[in-house]
Amino acid sequence: GFPFDQKELDIEAEKCKDHLRDRSKEFFEILENFEVPVLVFSAGLGNSVESVLRQAGVLNKNVKIVSNFLRFKDNLVDGFQPPLIHNLNKNETVLSGSDFHSLVENRNNIILLGDSLGDADMSNGAPDSSNIIKIGFLFHHVKDNLEKYMDTFDIVLIDDQSMNV
């Protein structure tokens, strides 16, 4: 393993805390007030996602991060905590048997937000009775990707930097 100080991520996250979409804080507050669970799926480093959300003031009690978290042994990074999250399993099936599953298993309404075509699959594994609204954020190669996004998501926001949906 190698030494790693979580404080380094917090320092970098402090620089990014204002980079969330406009009105994200209000969006997270509304969801917290109505006790709506928020699952943040990321195939990236969960420790980093957690730091950014904490620094931005949106890591509320209803927010859970499903991602790749570092595993430590004797204060050294020793790998990742299972399960490993990647683009092909970044969906509800990875929740099976976890504490997160109990938060969503009896909920039939899902708002899915994603910025890649694969993100639209994050609701895979949800009950068939679920009502799902898929919102896609399209930033790059808009002309090339717009039709694919329109076929995949219910709503497509182009170059939109806010949560005013």
Full-model pTM = 0.86
Judge if 25 and 78 occupy the same domain.
Answer: yes
Note the helical H segments in 17-165. Answer: 24-33, 46-55, 99-104, 142-152
Structural domain range at position 53: 1-90
Average confidence score pLDDT of the chain: 89
Residues 6 or more apart in contact with residue 8 via CB below 8 angstroms: none
Q: CB–CB of 136/114 below 8 Å?
A: yes
Question: Quick one: how far is CA 155 from the chain centroid?
Answer: 18
Residue that is last in its domain, among 64, 90, 116: 90
Radius of gyration for the chain, computed over Cα atoms and rounded to the nearest angstrom: 17
Q: How many domains does the chain have?
A: 2
Which residues is 132 bridged to in the sheet?
Answer: 110
Judge if 124 and 83 occupy the same domain.
Answer: no
Judge if 26 and 59 occupy the same domain.
Answer: yes
Distance of alpha carbon 35 from alpha carbon 20, whole angstroms: 21
Model pLDDT for residues 91-142, shown as the tens digit of each residue: 877 887 777 777 787 888 889 999 999 999 988 888 777 899 999 999 999 9
102 located within any domain: no
